[in-house]
Amino acid sequence: MTNTIYKSTWLAAALLTVLCLALPSYQWATLSAVPLVQLLAGASALALSICKITFYPIAVDNWRSQRPVLAIVFFATASIALFFSVSATKNLIQDSAITKQHGQTVNSYAHQQAVNTVNNINNAIGLLNDAMRRDIEAGYRARAIEQQEKLAGLMAQRSVAIAEVKNLSQARPSGTQSTFLQNLSLGTTKNSIQLSGATGAAIALHLGCVLSILALSQRRAPQPPPQSEINTTQRSRADKKRRKKEEQIEMWAAAPKTPTLAELTIDQRHLYQAIKNGDHGATPVLRNIINDRVIKGGHKRVSPVFERLVQDGILERKGRAYILTEGQ
């Protein structure tokens, strides 16, 4: 996954996650007018949405780790949560589209005219009822009967006008219908699956969220090696440490030991005595004695004399320098 694709996927995952958490929570919260029920319903939808997002990657990890039972449990739970989230989102989208379409219908000229007609007929019926009451009170029963016949006609007209308003309210507005209220056909003509636009949008929204999260989960730290490989690596490191320690012991054993005074040659014993007597100063310098060729053989023969002097307590080593002890 290139860096550009990764960043784009990350952005899509972030946006889709926010939407997939917010839409179902809002839809469930609007199912009741009681504030406490709204809060509990919204929290439930939010929890299910989080499970849907997190349980799919966990299921994949368990499947890769050869834990199929846990993988199936997490996958099934995530699928149930996905179903409820898609259903809630579909209902919210569909209700919003219907509300918008109804508003367009109500605001149409024909609908307004039909409503005005109903209002005018209601006003006429009210006036006619008042006139009939006055005629009856004045004793004009014949005229009251005539007015009653007119009232029946107005009532019939009002019924027709109300039916017209109802039909116009249910009719689709002129122009293009909302995509979310149209049916989508998936598959061939004979074997097609009818799917509402709102359902398709909800599935695409939540499925895109899950897939983007799964895609991001693939780009992570490498999986730890199996336990068998870890044990092999640990044994290899332990073997290397053991061999290194054995080599150090062998080197120490093979290192030349400091010779005793009796093991020194005559010229080495002479040098030993001269250094002890202070003939080479209070701080005899090994390099100077080698360069002055006090005895032949260089460092190989001069160094054992200094080591012997150190062992006998005549010289004291301080860093790279040697100093005669105070007792000398």
Instruction: Choose the weakest-confidence range: 30-39, 174-183, 192-201, 276-285.
Output: 174-183
Is 254 within the bounds of a domain? no
Determine the Cα–Cα distance for residues 109 and 168; give it in Å rounded to an integer. 10
Is 256 within the bounds of a domain? no
Determine the Cα–Cα distance for residues 139 and 145; give it in Å rounded to an integer. 11
Answer yes or no: is pLDDT of 233 > 50.
Answer: yes
Is 237 within the bounds of a domain? no
Tell me, yes or no, whether 130 and 64 share the same domain. Answer: no
Tell me, yes or no, whether 212 and 84 share the same domain. Answer: yes
Instruction: Name the strand (E) or helix (H) holding 185.
Output: strand 183-187
Contact (CB, 8 A) for 101 and 181: yes
DSSP states along 259-309: PPTTTS-HHHHHHHHHHHHTTT-SS--HHHHHHTTSSTTTHHHHHHHHHHH
Tell me, yes or no, whether 164 and 206 share the same domain. Answer: no
What pLDDT, on the 0 to 100 scale, is given for residue 327?
A: 58
Answer yes or no: is pLDDT of 328 > 50.
Answer: yes
pTM of the model: 0.46
Q: Span 77-85, mean pLDDT?
A: 92
Domain boundary among 194, 218, 242: 218
CA-based R_g, the chain, Å: 50
pLDDT band at 155 (very low <50, low <70, confident <90, very high): confident
Is 80 within the bounds of a domain? yes
Strand 315-318 relative to strand 321-324, pairing: antiparallel
Is 160 within the bounds of a domain? yes
Instruction: Give the residue numbers spanning the domain of 123.
Output: 109-170
Determine the Cα–Cα distance for residues 48 and 26; give it in Å rounded to an integer. 13
Tell me, yes or no, whether 58 and 120 share the same domain. Answer: no
Tell me, yes or no, whether 12 and 99 share the same domain. Answer: yes
Contact (CB, 8 A) for 151 and 157: no
Is 33 within the bounds of a domain? yes
Give residues with Cβ within 8 angstroms of 34, minimum separation 6: none
Tell me, yes or no, whether 144 and 273 share the same domain. Answer: no
* CATH number, domain containing residue 287: 1.10.10
Tell me, yes or no, whether 147 and 94 share the same domain. Answer: no
What pLDDT, on the 0 to 100 scale, is given for residue 69?
A: 93
Is 239 within the bounds of a domain? no
Tell me, yes or no, whether 19 and 99 share the same domain. Answer: yes
Instruction: Choose the weakest-confidence range: 150-164, 276-290, 307-321.
Output: 150-164
Tell me, yes or no, whether 48 and 11 share the same domain. Answer: yes
Highest mean pLDDT pick, 44-58, 123-137, 254-268 = 44-58
Is 99 within the bounds of a domain? yes
Tell me, yes or no, whether 11 and 89 share the same domain. Answer: yes
Give residues with Cβ within 8 angstroms of 141, minimum separation 6: 135
Answer yes or no: is pLDDT of 318 > 90.
Answer: no
Closest CA to 74 of 65, 64, 61, 85: 61
**Dihedrals φ, ψ of 188, to 5°?**
-75, 175
**264 vs 108, higher pLDDT:** 264
pLDDT band at 70 (very low <50, low <70, confident <90, very high): very high
CA dihedral 27, 28, 32, 37 (to 10 degrees): -140
What pLDDT, on the 0 to 100 scale, is given for residue 59?
A: 92
Please measure the distance between the N-terminal and C-terminal CA atoms of the chain and give it in whole angstroms: 78
Strand 192-196 relative to strand 321-324, pairing: unpaired
Tell me, yes or no, whether 166 and 289 share the same domain. Answer: no
Tell me, yes or no, whether 70 and 28 share the same domain. Answer: yes
* Count of domains forming the chain: 3
Q: Mean pLDDT of all residues in the chain?
A: 80
